[in-house]
Amino acid sequence: MPVLSTKDGYEPKIIAYLCTWCSYTGADTAGIARLKYPANLRAVRVPCSGRVSPEIIMRTFDQGADGVLILACHIGECHYETGNHRTAKRFPILHSLMTFAGLEKERLRLDWVSASEGDRFSKIVNEFIATVKSLGPANWRVTSSDGIVVDRRMGVSGSDRVDRLLARVSQQRSPTSSQQQFVLNSHTANAEKSSAIQSVARQLLESGEVSLVIGYETGPRGRTRPAFINHPEDVDRLVWNQECTHNLATYLHGRLKTDAAAQSNQADEERSKRIAVVVKPCDSRAINVLTVENQIQRDQVHVIGVSCEGILEGSGFKSFADDQNSPYAFQSRCQSCQINKPVVFDTLIGEVSESRKIQVSADLISSQELWDLTPGERAEFWLSQFDRCIRCYACRQACPQCNCPTCLYERDDSLWVGMGTGLNEKRTFHLGRAYHLAGRCIGCDECEHVCPVGLPLSLLNQMLAQEVEKVFSHRAGYSMEASPIVSKLSGEERLP
């Protein structure tokens, strides 16, 4: 379709995903009635708006669209009954995500039409094109991998607000005086818990109830790391301290004999029938999510839940034993953690209180501070972060909920994102992964902790968790309830 050229030269490229049954027909109706809509709009006909996945929308912007419009049937009128429910539920989450990452919110729109509403179709389309045109070109797609980042480091287009935020990305990880309200456990307290964990492990292994206990140990360099104990005589390796950062639930999926596993490539003999795993309160939520998503069977896991007083920043990567008198900082997830009791457990270790006071340091960057920026500033912030990414996928590998046999973003045909390290690709990978975790992420922040270049992924996940709670009143893993975004299509669920 030829693009109309005008005096000012810029004509937005709009892609409209039109559902066959309503809006595509609506477009026809508009045409039959000789209602006008500009030729900027390129229509893509889909069998149902539910077909328009977030990957498609992100890809559309990646390829240079200035605006994306999705037109769906009214709720209750879907030809496939609940296809548009998917659209209704996923859209607000995707919209928040993309605007948080710097897309102007007017550029992505979802609206509802029926086949007979030619007028309405025409009105929406014209409105949308006018709005997108007034915003100018989208500039979402970065055409070279060092475009914006080089510019900002040369002080050309940077804003002070973004500069200050960028400086705080690394400062967040440093010790500050505002950490005083957190208390370091005494050696005795840690030793008591370690001992209790060892006892439970010994008993479980000796009785044959489990064939493997996954817990924590101290490595030769003094760093705390995951430990896999198969024999009762090795349980003395197990420790508990405030460096037990890893989310050990991530190991369950690959090691349990389940029906799904039996059909997979991996040798069945290497898998265990029953495993015990040491989890902190945050990690325990992952157990619930894995169970409700049928990735593990609850009765195959003996959950050793441990109460937690906070984990130190830098855990797993350095030894704190030599640093007794040095300043310390607690991880950002601990600062906003409300629970010190695991939500699910078979054995409970340590004293618990039902809730705890949230004590967030002023150094931590909050979602609100990012929302307070302009879209352009937000885009700059995120691109400068994703620039460091090397696509090692450690974030994905460390996450218990990322357990797809083949990651969507690693397909051989590069369908959704290329495999290289261009800025566009790295941003799409991280935003896409964050979207897939919306409603499922339990906020352990291990993705951020394992990142070799410190991408502040927790900011993305946190923001989405807040959105999901706002829109669906759902918080992942506190109960055996699956994420409402994809798992419920009954029509009885609460739609946004």
Partner 1 sequence: MNYEGFCTRDALVNWLDDLAGQVSLVIPVNDSGFLLYRQVVSVADIAWLVGESGPSTEQMYPHRPVLAVKEMFFPSTEPLVKIKKKAQQVLLEETLPDKPQVVFGVTPCDARGVRIMDNIFIEDLPADAYYTRRRENVTMVGLACQEMGESCFCTSLGGALDDPSDMDIMLTEFEEGFLIQVVTEKGRSLLGKQKFYSDTSTLNLDQVTNRATHAAISPLIPIPDIEAMPRLFNHEIWDRLAESCLSCRICSYVCPTCRCFDLRDEMLPSENGYECYQRIRCWDSCSRDAYRRIAGGHTPRATEAERLRNRIFCKFNYSPRQYGLEGTVACTGCGRCIDACPVNIDITEILGCLAEVVNE
Asked if 144 touches partner 1 (CB under 8 A), the answer is: no
Choice from 130, 183, 262, 453 touching partner 1 (CB under 8 A)? 453
Q: Phi, psi (5° rounding) for residue 70?
A: -120, 125
Q: Which strand (E) or helix (H) includes residue 432?
A: helix 423-437
Q: Are 67 and 445 in contact (CB under 8 A)?
A: no
Shortest Cβ distance from residue 419 to partner 1 (Å)? 6
Choice from 188, 406, 473, 490 touching partner 1 (CB under 8 A)? 406
Choice from 75, 184, 228, 369 touching partner 1 (CB under 8 A)? 228
Beta carbons within 8 Å of 372's beta carbon, 6+ residues apart: none
Strands (E), 11-139: 14-19, 41-46, 67-72, 108-112
- DSSP string spanning 193-260? HHHHHHHHHHHHHHTTS-SEEEEEEE-TTS-EEEEEE-SGGGGGG----TT----GGGGHHHHB--HH
Q: Which is nearer to partner 1, 50 or 215 (CB)?
A: 215
* Among 113-121, 245-253, 279-287, 291-299, the segment contacting partner 1 (CB under 8 A): 245-253
Which of 424, 462, 418 lies closest to 444, judged by CA? 462
Q: Which is nearer to partner 1, 36 or 388 (CB)?
A: 388
In whole angstroms, give the CA distance from residue 401 to residue 387. Answer: 25
Choice from 120, 133, 193, 246 touching partner 1 (CB under 8 A)? 246
Choice from 267, 325, 368, 490 touching partner 1 (CB under 8 A)? 267
Rg from Cα positions in the chain = 25
Which of 475, 457, 458, 455 lies closest to 466, judged by CA? 475
Site for partner 1 in 339-378 (CB under 8 A): none
Alpha helices, H only, 313-421: 332-335, 367-371, 375-386, 394-398
Asked if 147 touches partner 1 (CB under 8 A), the answer is: no
Choice from 131, 359, 397, 466 touching partner 1 (CB under 8 A)? 397
Rounded to the nearest 5 degrees, what angle is found at the Cα of 226, between the Cα atoms of 442 and 249? 30
In whole angstroms, give the CA distance from residue 132 to residue 260. Answer: 47
Asked if 321 touches partner 1 (CB under 8 A), the answer is: no
Cα four-point dihedral sign 101, 106, 112, 114: negative
Choice from 35, 56, 135, 169 touching partner 1 (CB under 8 A)? 169
Asked if 164 touches partner 1 (CB under 8 A), the answer is: no
Shortest Cβ distance from residue 445 to partner 1 (Å)? 12
Question: How many residues sit close enough to partner 1 to count as binding (CB under 8 A)?
Answer: 53
Cβ count within 10 A of residue 452: 11
Q: Which is nearer to partner 1, 130 or 392 (CB)?
A: 392
Choice from 3, 39, 358, 390 touching partner 1 (CB under 8 A)? 390
Asked if 326 touches partner 1 (CB under 8 A), the answer is: no
In whole angstroms, give the CA distance from residue 219 to residue 237. Answer: 9
Asked if 136 touches partner 1 (CB under 8 A), the answer is: no
Asked if 412 touches partner 1 (CB under 8 A), the answer is: yes
Asked if 392 touches partner 1 (CB under 8 A), the answer is: yes
Q: Which is nearer to partner 1, 300 or 397 (CB)?
A: 397
Which of 87, 105, 85, 86 lies closest to 95, judged by CA? 105
Choice from 51, 123, 161, 223 touching partner 1 (CB under 8 A)? 223
Site for partner 1 in 9-68 (CB under 8 A): 63-64
Which of 234, 202, 191, 238 lies closest to 218, judged by CA? 238
Q: Which is nearer to partner 1, 181 or 414 (CB)?
A: 414
Alpha helices, H only, 114-186: 118-135, 147-153, 160-171
Asked if 1 touches partner 1 (CB under 8 A), the answer is: no
Site for partner 1 in 181-220 (CB under 8 A): 219-220
Angle at which helix 457-472 crosses helix 83-100, to 10 degrees, equals 140
Choice from 137, 232, 376, 422 touching partner 1 (CB under 8 A)? 422
Q: Which is nearer to partner 1, 83 or 316 (CB)?
A: 316
Q: Which is nearer to partner 1, 446 or 467 (CB)?
A: 446
Asked if 433 touches partner 1 (CB under 8 A), the answer is: no
Q: Which is nearer to partner 1, 1 or 32 (CB)?
A: 1
Buried b (16+ CB within 10 A) or exposed e, 40-66: bbebeebebbbbbbbbbbbbbbbeebb
Q: Which is nearer to partner 1, 72 or 286 (CB)?
A: 286
Asked if 3 touches partner 1 (CB under 8 A), the answer is: no
Shortest Cβ distance from residue 171 to partner 1 (Å)? 8
In whole angstroms, give the CA distance from residue 309 to residue 189. Answer: 11
Q: By the criterion CB under 8 A, which residues form the site for partner 1? A: 63-64, 146, 150, 153-154, 166, 169-171, 173, 219-221, 223-228, 246, 250-251, 265-267, 270, 316-317, 385, 388, 390-394, 396-398, 406, 412, 414, 418-422, 446, 449-450, 452-454
